[in-house]
Structure 1
Amino acid sequence: MPSTGLFLFPVGPNQLSPSSVIISHISRSFPAEPLPPFYLDHRLFVDTSSLLPNSDTSLRRFTSILTLSHTPLKTYVGITPSKEKGQPLEQQPLPSTLITVPSTFADSFTQLIGTKLQPHWAHRQSLVVENGTALSFRNGEWTVRIGDLKTPIRPNQTVSNVRGMLIEVSYTPGTLETRREDSVKQENTNIFVSVDKENATIIRAFLEALTVGTGVSLENSRVLFRRTNSHDKEKGGSGAVDGALATLYMEMLRGGRG
Protein backbone atom coordinates (compact mmCIF):
# COMPACT_ATOMS: atom_id res chain seq x y z
CA MET A 1 0.00 0.00 0.00
CA PRO A 2 1.31 3.47 -0.83
CA SER A 3 2.17 5.99 1.84
CA THR A 4 0.34 9.20 0.98
CA GLY A 5 0.96 12.73 2.19
CA LEU A 6 -1.62 15.46 1.58
CA PHE A 7 -0.33 19.03 1.80
CA LEU A 8 -2.53 22.14 1.93
CA PHE A 9 -0.92 25.52 1.30
CA PRO A 10 -3.25 28.42 2.20
CA VAL A 11 -3.66 31.19 -0.39
CA GLY A 12 -4.81 34.62 0.80
CA PRO A 13 -7.53 36.72 -0.89
CA ASN A 14 -4.98 38.94 -2.66
CA GLN A 15 -2.41 36.24 -3.40
CA LEU A 16 -1.76 34.13 -6.47
CA SER A 17 -1.59 30.37 -6.15
CA PRO A 18 1.94 29.00 -6.71
CA SER A 19 0.58 25.91 -8.48
CA SER A 20 1.40 27.09 -12.02
CA VAL A 21 4.96 27.97 -10.98
CA ILE A 22 5.46 24.54 -9.40
CA ILE A 23 4.01 22.65 -12.36
CA SER A 24 6.13 24.64 -14.82
CA HIS A 25 9.25 24.03 -12.72
CA ILE A 26 8.59 20.28 -12.51
CA SER A 27 7.94 19.96 -16.25
CA ARG A 28 11.27 21.65 -17.00
CA SER A 29 13.36 19.91 -14.38
CA PHE A 30 12.09 16.34 -13.91
CA PRO A 31 11.09 13.44 -16.16
CA ALA A 32 7.45 12.74 -15.40
CA GLU A 33 4.56 10.99 -17.12
CA PRO A 34 1.22 12.82 -17.16
CA LEU A 35 -1.82 11.10 -15.67
CA PRO A 36 -5.52 11.98 -16.08
CA PRO A 37 -6.39 15.41 -14.62
CA PHE A 38 -6.82 15.74 -10.88
CA TYR A 39 -10.15 17.02 -9.60
CA LEU A 40 -12.34 16.85 -6.52
CA ASP A 41 -15.68 18.10 -5.25
CA HIS A 42 -16.25 18.37 -1.50
CA ARG A 43 -19.50 19.46 0.15
CA LEU A 44 -19.54 19.93 3.91
CA PHE A 45 -22.55 19.91 6.23
CA VAL A 46 -22.69 20.46 10.01
CA ASP A 47 -25.29 19.30 12.51
CA THR A 48 -27.82 22.06 13.15
CA SER A 49 -27.85 21.55 16.91
CA SER A 50 -24.27 22.86 17.05
CA LEU A 51 -25.43 26.14 15.46
CA LEU A 52 -27.78 26.99 18.31
CA PRO A 53 -26.81 29.77 20.75
CA ASN A 54 -24.55 28.63 23.60
CA SER A 55 -23.93 25.26 21.93
CA ASP A 56 -20.54 23.61 22.37
CA THR A 57 -18.96 23.84 18.90
CA SER A 58 -16.20 21.44 19.94
CA LEU A 59 -18.83 18.68 19.80
CA ARG A 60 -19.87 19.57 16.26
CA ARG A 61 -20.46 16.71 13.83
CA PHE A 62 -19.88 16.82 10.08
CA THR A 63 -21.15 15.13 6.95
CA SER A 64 -18.84 15.20 3.93
CA ILE A 65 -19.79 14.39 0.34
CA LEU A 66 -16.62 13.85 -1.68
CA THR A 67 -15.92 12.96 -5.30
CA LEU A 68 -12.30 12.31 -6.35
CA SER A 69 -10.72 11.85 -9.77
CA HIS A 70 -8.92 8.79 -8.36
CA THR A 71 -12.27 6.93 -8.23
CA PRO A 72 -14.54 8.96 -10.52
CA LEU A 73 -17.40 6.46 -10.57
CA LYS A 74 -17.93 6.70 -6.81
CA THR A 75 -18.83 9.50 -4.41
CA TYR A 76 -17.95 9.08 -0.73
CA VAL A 77 -20.26 10.10 2.10
CA GLY A 78 -18.64 10.31 5.54
CA ILE A 79 -20.24 11.21 8.87
CA THR A 80 -18.05 11.99 11.87
CA PRO A 81 -18.99 10.33 15.16
CA SER A 82 -20.00 12.15 18.30
CA LYS A 83 -17.10 13.56 20.29
CA GLU A 84 -16.41 13.53 23.97
CA LYS A 85 -16.74 16.91 25.62
CA GLY A 86 -13.38 18.65 25.86
CA GLN A 87 -11.76 16.61 23.09
CA PRO A 88 -9.71 18.98 20.86
CA LEU A 89 -11.04 19.46 17.32
CA GLU A 90 -7.75 18.40 15.78
CA GLN A 91 -8.06 15.06 17.58
CA GLN A 92 -11.45 14.34 16.07
CA PRO A 93 -11.56 10.69 14.99
CA LEU A 94 -12.09 9.45 11.48
CA PRO A 95 -15.66 9.11 10.19
CA SER A 96 -17.38 6.21 11.90
CA THR A 97 -19.73 5.92 8.92
CA LEU A 98 -18.42 5.89 5.35
CA ILE A 99 -20.48 4.81 2.37
CA THR A 100 -20.28 5.26 -1.39
CA VAL A 101 -22.93 6.20 -3.92
CA PRO A 102 -22.61 6.39 -7.71
CA SER A 103 -21.04 9.74 -8.60
CA THR A 104 -23.96 10.42 -10.94
CA PHE A 105 -26.14 10.65 -7.82
CA ALA A 106 -23.89 13.12 -5.96
CA ASP A 107 -26.05 16.15 -6.74
CA SER A 108 -29.32 14.45 -5.85
CA PHE A 109 -27.80 13.06 -2.65
CA THR A 110 -26.60 16.55 -1.70
CA GLN A 111 -30.07 17.93 -2.40
CA LEU A 112 -31.59 15.21 -0.23
CA ILE A 113 -29.46 16.22 2.75
CA GLY A 114 -30.04 19.92 2.13
CA THR A 115 -33.83 19.58 1.92
CA LYS A 116 -35.26 16.45 3.50
CA LEU A 117 -32.64 16.38 6.26
CA GLN A 118 -32.41 20.16 6.67
CA PRO A 119 -33.62 20.01 10.30
CA HIS A 120 -30.53 17.95 11.11
CA TRP A 121 -27.80 19.16 8.72
CA ALA A 122 -26.86 22.63 7.42
CA HIS A 123 -24.61 23.30 4.44
CA ARG A 124 -21.33 24.84 5.59
CA GLN A 125 -18.93 24.94 2.65
CA SER A 126 -18.26 23.66 -0.88
CA LEU A 127 -14.75 23.29 -2.29
CA VAL A 128 -13.54 22.08 -5.67
CA VAL A 129 -10.35 21.37 -7.57
CA GLU A 130 -10.87 21.65 -11.31
CA ASN A 131 -8.45 20.47 -14.00
CA GLY A 132 -5.54 19.86 -11.64
CA THR A 133 -2.31 18.16 -12.67
CA ALA A 134 -1.33 14.55 -11.94
CA LEU A 135 2.14 13.17 -12.65
CA SER A 136 3.87 9.82 -12.30
CA PHE A 137 7.59 9.56 -11.51
CA ARG A 138 10.04 6.66 -11.65
CA ASN A 139 7.64 4.18 -13.30
CA GLY A 140 4.93 4.76 -10.74
CA GLU A 141 7.06 4.75 -7.60
CA TRP A 142 5.85 8.31 -6.99
CA THR A 143 2.57 9.96 -7.91
CA VAL A 144 1.99 13.69 -7.42
CA ARG A 145 -1.28 15.57 -7.81
CA ILE A 146 -1.45 19.38 -7.71
CA GLY A 147 -4.53 21.58 -7.84
CA ASP A 148 -6.01 24.88 -6.70
CA LEU A 149 -8.69 24.53 -4.05
CA LYS A 150 -11.56 26.89 -4.83
CA THR A 151 -15.00 27.90 -3.60
CA PRO A 152 -17.79 28.16 -6.17
CA ILE A 153 -17.85 31.57 -7.87
CA ARG A 154 -20.62 33.87 -6.65
CA PRO A 155 -22.43 36.47 -8.77
CA ASN A 156 -20.56 39.80 -8.93
CA GLN A 157 -17.61 38.30 -7.05
CA THR A 158 -14.53 40.53 -7.37
CA VAL A 159 -11.96 38.67 -5.27
CA SER A 160 -10.29 35.38 -6.11
CA ASN A 161 -12.13 32.22 -5.11
CA VAL A 162 -8.87 30.29 -4.60
CA ARG A 163 -8.52 29.21 -0.97
CA GLY A 164 -5.39 27.10 -1.18
CA MET A 165 -3.19 24.74 -3.15
CA LEU A 166 -3.41 20.99 -2.59
CA ILE A 167 -0.50 18.66 -3.29
CA GLU A 168 -0.91 14.93 -2.87
CA VAL A 169 2.26 12.82 -2.85
CA SER A 170 1.97 9.02 -2.92
CA TYR A 171 5.02 6.82 -2.43
CA THR A 172 4.99 3.13 -3.38
CA PRO A 173 8.45 1.61 -2.87
CA GLY A 174 9.59 -1.60 -4.52
CA THR A 175 10.04 -2.80 -8.06
CA LEU A 176 7.47 -2.20 -10.78
CA GLU A 177 6.47 -5.86 -10.62
CA THR A 178 5.94 -5.89 -6.85
CA ARG A 179 3.91 -2.68 -7.08
CA ARG A 180 1.68 -4.32 -9.67
CA GLU A 181 1.20 -7.37 -7.44
CA ASP A 182 0.34 -5.20 -4.44
CA SER A 183 -2.10 -3.23 -6.58
CA VAL A 184 -3.93 -6.42 -7.53
CA LYS A 185 -4.07 -7.61 -3.92
CA GLN A 186 -5.39 -4.40 -2.41
CA GLU A 187 -8.98 -4.63 -1.26
CA ASN A 188 -11.77 -2.25 -0.41
CA THR A 189 -11.27 -1.96 3.33
CA ASN A 190 -11.80 0.83 5.78
CA ILE A 191 -8.74 -0.08 7.83
CA PHE A 192 -6.83 3.13 8.46
CA VAL A 193 -3.08 2.74 8.86
CA SER A 194 -0.81 5.63 9.73
CA VAL A 195 2.41 6.36 7.86
CA ASP A 196 5.58 5.73 9.85
CA LYS A 197 8.04 8.53 10.52
CA GLU A 198 10.58 7.23 7.99
CA ASN A 199 8.15 7.25 5.07
CA ALA A 200 6.71 10.61 6.12
CA THR A 201 10.23 12.04 6.05
CA ILE A 202 10.87 10.51 2.61
CA ILE A 203 7.66 12.05 1.25
CA ARG A 204 8.55 15.47 2.64
CA ALA A 205 12.04 15.27 1.17
CA PHE A 206 10.70 14.28 -2.26
CA LEU A 207 8.27 17.21 -2.35
CA GLU A 208 10.97 19.59 -1.16
CA ALA A 209 13.19 18.40 -4.03
CA LEU A 210 10.39 19.00 -6.53
CA THR A 211 9.67 22.51 -5.28
CA VAL A 212 13.18 23.82 -4.59
CA GLY A 213 13.68 27.15 -6.31
CA THR A 214 9.94 27.88 -6.58
CA GLY A 215 9.69 29.94 -3.40
CA VAL A 216 7.27 27.44 -1.84
CA SER A 217 8.04 26.28 1.69
CA LEU A 218 6.56 23.17 3.26
CA GLU A 219 6.67 25.01 6.57
CA ASN A 220 3.66 27.01 5.36
CA SER A 221 1.54 23.92 4.75
CA ARG A 222 -0.76 21.71 6.75
CA VAL A 223 -0.02 18.04 6.13
CA LEU A 224 -1.69 14.72 6.88
CA PHE A 225 -0.35 11.23 6.16
CA ARG A 226 -2.10 7.90 5.63
CA ARG A 227 -1.64 4.52 3.96
CA THR A 228 -3.95 4.33 0.94
CA ASN A 229 -4.63 2.22 -2.12
CA SER A 230 -2.81 2.65 -5.41
CA HIS A 231 -4.42 4.85 -8.07
CA ASP A 232 -2.00 4.88 -10.97
CA LYS A 233 -2.26 4.89 -14.75
CA GLU A 234 -2.90 1.14 -14.93
CA LYS A 235 -6.15 1.52 -13.02
CA GLY A 236 -7.70 3.13 -16.07
CA GLY A 237 -9.25 5.87 -13.98
CA SER A 238 -12.03 3.74 -12.47
CA GLY A 239 -10.19 2.92 -9.26
CA ALA A 240 -11.12 0.63 -6.39
CA VAL A 241 -13.03 2.25 -3.55
CA ASP A 242 -10.48 3.70 -1.14
CA GLY A 243 -11.93 4.62 2.25
CA ALA A 244 -8.55 5.61 3.66
CA LEU A 245 -7.89 8.09 0.86
CA ALA A 246 -11.41 9.53 1.10
CA THR A 247 -11.17 10.16 4.83
CA LEU A 248 -7.71 11.67 4.38
CA TYR A 249 -9.20 14.27 2.04
CA MET A 250 -12.30 14.77 4.19
CA GLU A 251 -10.20 15.43 7.26
CA MET A 252 -7.99 17.90 5.40
CA LEU A 253 -10.84 19.75 3.68
CA ARG A 254 -12.89 19.89 6.87
CA GLY A 255 -9.87 21.40 8.58
CA GLY A 256 -10.55 23.29 11.78
CA ARG A 257 -13.95 24.60 10.77
CA GLY A 258 -16.16 25.39 13.69
Structure 2
Amino acid sequence: MATSLEGFASASLQSGDDPNEDMDPSTDSEDESLSQPNTSEQIKALLADTERVKLTKKLSEANQQNRFLKRQLYIKEDALLKFKSELAVMELEIQALARLAEEIAKSGIPNGSRKINGKYIHTHLVARLKAVHEQLTEQIKDVDVAQSKEVSVFWAGMAESVQVMGSFDGWSQGEHLSPEYTGSYTRFSTTLMLRPGRYEVKFFVDGEWHLSPELPVTGEGLMKNNLLIVE
Protein backbone atom coordinates (compact mmCIF):
# COMPACT_ATOMS: atom_id res chain seq x y z
CA MET A 1 0.00 0.00 0.00
CA ALA A 2 2.84 2.42 0.82
CA THR A 3 4.51 1.54 -2.45
CA SER A 4 1.41 2.53 -4.44
CA LEU A 5 1.14 5.92 -2.71
CA GLU A 6 4.77 6.71 -3.41
CA GLY A 7 4.27 5.77 -7.03
CA PHE A 8 1.24 8.03 -7.32
CA ALA A 9 3.14 11.00 -5.84
CA SER A 10 6.13 10.49 -8.12
CA ALA A 11 3.85 10.20 -11.13
CA SER A 12 2.16 13.46 -10.25
CA LEU A 13 5.49 15.27 -9.95
CA GLN A 14 6.72 13.81 -13.21
CA SER A 15 3.60 14.96 -15.05
CA GLY A 16 4.49 18.59 -14.13
CA ASP A 17 1.28 19.37 -12.21
CA ASP A 18 1.79 22.50 -10.07
CA PRO A 19 -0.77 23.32 -7.38
CA ASN A 20 -0.26 27.05 -8.06
CA GLU A 21 -1.13 26.77 -11.76
CA ASP A 22 -4.87 27.27 -11.12
CA MET A 23 -4.32 30.80 -9.65
CA ASP A 24 -5.31 33.72 -11.89
CA PRO A 25 -2.22 35.77 -12.90
CA SER A 26 -4.36 38.90 -13.22
CA THR A 27 -4.85 38.86 -9.45
CA ASP A 28 -1.13 39.33 -8.96
CA SER A 29 -1.07 42.25 -11.42
CA GLU A 30 -4.00 43.93 -9.66
CA ASP A 31 -2.28 43.59 -6.31
CA GLU A 32 0.89 45.03 -7.78
CA SER A 33 -0.98 48.02 -9.30
CA LEU A 34 -2.71 48.74 -6.00
CA SER A 35 0.54 48.59 -4.13
CA GLN A 36 2.21 51.06 -6.51
CA PRO A 37 2.02 54.75 -5.45
CA ASN A 38 0.14 57.25 -7.65
CA THR A 39 2.22 59.20 -10.12
CA SER A 40 2.40 62.99 -10.02
CA GLU A 41 0.06 63.22 -13.01
CA GLN A 42 -2.52 61.06 -11.26
CA ILE A 43 -2.27 63.19 -8.12
CA LYS A 44 -2.72 66.36 -10.17
CA ALA A 45 -5.77 64.87 -11.87
CA LEU A 46 -7.29 63.93 -8.50
CA LEU A 47 -6.67 67.42 -7.14
CA ALA A 48 -8.13 68.98 -10.28
CA ASP A 49 -11.26 66.84 -9.95
CA THR A 50 -11.62 67.86 -6.31
CA GLU A 51 -11.28 71.55 -7.14
CA ARG A 52 -13.72 71.17 -10.02
CA VAL A 53 -16.31 69.68 -7.69
CA LYS A 54 -15.81 72.54 -5.22
CA LEU A 55 -16.10 75.19 -7.94
CA THR A 56 -19.21 73.54 -9.37
CA LYS A 57 -20.81 73.56 -5.93
CA LYS A 58 -19.93 77.22 -5.38
CA LEU A 59 -21.25 78.13 -8.83
CA SER A 60 -24.51 76.32 -8.11
CA GLU A 61 -24.88 78.17 -4.81
CA ALA A 62 -24.12 81.49 -6.53
CA ASN A 63 -26.74 80.80 -9.20
CA GLN A 64 -29.33 79.96 -6.56
CA GLN A 65 -28.54 83.19 -4.71
CA ASN A 66 -28.75 85.13 -7.95
CA ARG A 67 -32.19 83.69 -8.74
CA PHE A 68 -33.34 84.53 -5.21
CA LEU A 69 -32.13 88.12 -5.56
CA LYS A 70 -33.90 88.43 -8.90
CA ARG A 71 -37.17 87.30 -7.34
CA GLN A 72 -36.70 89.82 -4.54
CA LEU A 73 -35.98 92.52 -7.11
CA TYR A 74 -39.20 91.77 -8.97
CA ILE A 75 -41.14 91.95 -5.70
CA LYS A 76 -39.60 95.33 -4.90
CA GLU A 77 -40.31 96.54 -8.42
CA ASP A 78 -43.98 95.71 -7.96
CA ALA A 79 -43.98 97.53 -4.62
CA LEU A 80 -42.37 100.58 -6.25
CA LEU A 81 -45.00 100.63 -8.97
CA LYS A 82 -47.76 100.47 -6.39
CA PHE A 83 -46.15 103.23 -4.33
CA LYS A 84 -45.76 105.38 -7.42
CA SER A 85 -49.45 104.97 -8.24
CA GLU A 86 -50.40 105.98 -4.71
CA LEU A 87 -48.15 109.04 -4.92
CA ALA A 88 -49.74 110.03 -8.22
CA VAL A 89 -53.21 109.89 -6.64
CA MET A 90 -52.03 111.96 -3.68
CA GLU A 91 -50.49 114.49 -6.04
CA LEU A 92 -53.82 114.98 -7.80
CA GLU A 93 -55.58 115.41 -4.46
CA ILE A 94 -53.07 118.01 -3.30
CA GLN A 95 -53.40 119.90 -6.57
CA ALA A 96 -57.18 120.00 -6.17
CA LEU A 97 -56.90 121.21 -2.56
CA ALA A 98 -54.39 123.89 -3.56
CA ARG A 99 -56.76 125.22 -6.23
CA LEU A 100 -59.64 125.33 -3.73
CA ALA A 101 -57.47 127.17 -1.22
CA GLU A 102 -56.49 129.74 -3.85
CA GLU A 103 -60.16 130.31 -4.73
CA ILE A 104 -61.01 130.81 -1.06
CA ALA A 105 -58.15 133.26 -0.63
CA LYS A 106 -59.22 135.25 -3.68
CA SER A 107 -62.91 135.34 -2.76
CA GLY A 108 -62.29 137.76 0.06
CA ILE A 109 -61.06 137.62 3.60
CA PRO A 110 -63.86 137.43 6.19
CA ASN A 111 -63.79 139.80 9.11
CA GLY A 112 -62.01 138.42 12.11
CA SER A 113 -59.90 135.96 10.12
CA ARG A 114 -56.93 134.68 12.07
CA LYS A 115 -53.39 135.62 11.15
CA ILE A 116 -50.14 133.68 11.55
CA ASN A 117 -46.91 135.68 11.47
CA GLY A 118 -48.76 138.61 9.95
CA LYS A 119 -50.41 136.57 7.18
CA TYR A 120 -53.97 135.37 6.99
CA ILE A 121 -54.56 131.66 7.51
CA HIS A 122 -55.79 131.27 3.93
CA THR A 123 -52.41 132.34 2.60
CA HIS A 124 -50.65 129.88 4.90
CA LEU A 125 -52.93 127.08 3.70
CA VAL A 126 -52.11 127.77 0.05
CA ALA A 127 -48.37 127.91 0.80
CA ARG A 128 -48.41 124.66 2.79
CA LEU A 129 -50.36 122.80 0.11
CA LYS A 130 -47.93 123.98 -2.57
CA ALA A 131 -44.99 122.83 -0.44
CA VAL A 132 -46.55 119.38 0.03
CA HIS A 133 -47.16 119.18 -3.72
CA GLU A 134 -43.50 119.94 -4.42
CA GLN A 135 -42.42 117.22 -1.99
CA LEU A 136 -44.68 114.68 -3.68
CA THR A 137 -43.28 115.63 -7.06
CA GLU A 138 -39.73 115.01 -5.80
CA GLN A 139 -40.74 111.65 -4.33
CA ILE A 140 -42.22 110.58 -7.65
CA LYS A 141 -38.93 111.49 -9.32
CA ASP A 142 -37.04 109.39 -6.75
CA VAL A 143 -39.30 106.43 -7.48
CA ASP A 144 -38.63 106.83 -11.20
CA VAL A 145 -34.89 106.73 -10.52
CA ALA A 146 -35.17 103.64 -8.31
CA GLN A 147 -37.40 101.79 -10.76
CA SER A 148 -35.74 99.39 -13.19
CA LYS A 149 -36.16 99.87 -16.90
CA GLU A 150 -36.17 97.48 -19.83
CA VAL A 151 -32.88 97.77 -21.72
CA SER A 152 -32.42 95.94 -25.03
CA VAL A 153 -28.98 94.44 -25.71
CA PHE A 154 -27.94 93.22 -29.17
CA TRP A 155 -25.12 91.28 -30.79
CA ALA A 156 -24.75 91.05 -34.57
CA GLY A 157 -22.66 88.31 -36.19
CA MET A 158 -22.53 84.62 -37.00
CA ALA A 159 -22.46 82.55 -33.83
CA GLU A 160 -24.02 79.57 -32.10
CA SER A 161 -24.15 80.91 -28.54
CA VAL A 162 -24.02 84.49 -27.25
CA GLN A 163 -24.13 85.57 -23.62
CA VAL A 164 -23.79 89.04 -22.13
CA MET A 165 -21.92 89.28 -18.84
CA GLY A 166 -21.48 92.41 -16.79
CA SER A 167 -21.47 94.39 -13.60
CA PHE A 168 -25.28 94.42 -13.56
CA ASP A 169 -25.16 91.09 -11.64
CA GLY A 170 -21.56 91.15 -10.43
CA TRP A 171 -20.29 89.20 -13.47
CA SER A 172 -21.86 86.07 -11.96
CA GLN A 173 -24.40 84.64 -14.39
CA GLY A 174 -25.22 87.02 -17.21
CA GLU A 175 -28.01 86.61 -19.73
CA HIS A 176 -28.22 84.47 -22.86
CA LEU A 177 -29.20 86.25 -26.06
CA SER A 178 -31.80 84.74 -28.36
CA PRO A 179 -30.99 84.46 -32.09
CA GLU A 180 -32.90 86.41 -34.70
CA TYR A 181 -32.01 85.25 -38.22
CA THR A 182 -32.17 88.14 -40.67
CA GLY A 183 -30.68 87.08 -43.97
CA SER A 184 -26.92 87.28 -44.36
CA TYR A 185 -26.03 87.60 -40.67
CA THR A 186 -27.37 86.59 -37.31
CA ARG A 187 -28.69 89.02 -34.74
CA PHE A 188 -28.95 88.08 -31.07
CA SER A 189 -30.92 90.03 -28.51
CA THR A 190 -32.13 90.05 -24.92
CA THR A 191 -33.77 92.46 -22.50
CA LEU A 192 -32.24 93.42 -19.17
CA MET A 193 -34.07 95.03 -16.25
CA LEU A 194 -31.68 97.74 -15.06
CA ARG A 195 -31.88 100.81 -12.92
CA PRO A 196 -30.45 104.08 -14.22
CA GLY A 197 -26.66 104.06 -14.07
CA ARG A 198 -23.49 102.96 -15.84
CA TYR A 199 -22.73 99.27 -16.36
CA GLU A 200 -19.71 97.49 -17.82
CA VAL A 201 -20.57 94.52 -20.04
CA LYS A 202 -18.83 92.04 -22.32
CA PHE A 203 -20.08 89.41 -24.74
CA PHE A 204 -19.18 85.71 -24.46
CA VAL A 205 -19.52 84.40 -28.01
CA ASP A 206 -18.93 80.70 -28.70
CA GLY A 207 -16.58 80.44 -25.73
CA GLU A 208 -14.59 83.62 -26.45
CA TRP A 209 -14.81 87.16 -25.10
CA HIS A 210 -15.75 89.92 -27.54
CA LEU A 211 -16.56 93.62 -27.47
CA SER A 212 -19.50 95.05 -29.35
CA PRO A 213 -18.61 97.77 -31.87
CA GLU A 214 -22.05 99.28 -31.32
CA LEU A 215 -21.36 100.24 -27.68
CA PRO A 216 -18.74 102.60 -26.20
CA VAL A 217 -15.63 101.06 -24.66
CA THR A 218 -14.05 101.70 -21.26
CA GLY A 219 -10.86 100.41 -19.63
CA GLU A 220 -7.62 99.12 -21.12
CA GLY A 221 -6.07 95.77 -21.93
CA LEU A 222 -7.77 92.81 -20.31
CA MET A 223 -9.98 95.23 -18.36
CA LYS A 224 -11.48 96.68 -21.55
CA ASN A 225 -15.28 96.35 -21.55
CA ASN A 226 -18.30 97.82 -23.26
CA LEU A 227 -20.12 100.59 -21.44
CA LEU A 228 -23.90 100.41 -21.09
CA ILE A 229 -25.54 103.64 -19.92
CA VAL A 230 -29.11 103.60 -18.64
CA GLU A 231 -30.70 107.03 -18.40
TM-score by length of 1: 0.19
Q: Which has the higher contact order (CA 8 A, sep 6+)?
A: 1
Structure number with larger C-alpha Rg: 2
TM-score by length of 2: 0.20
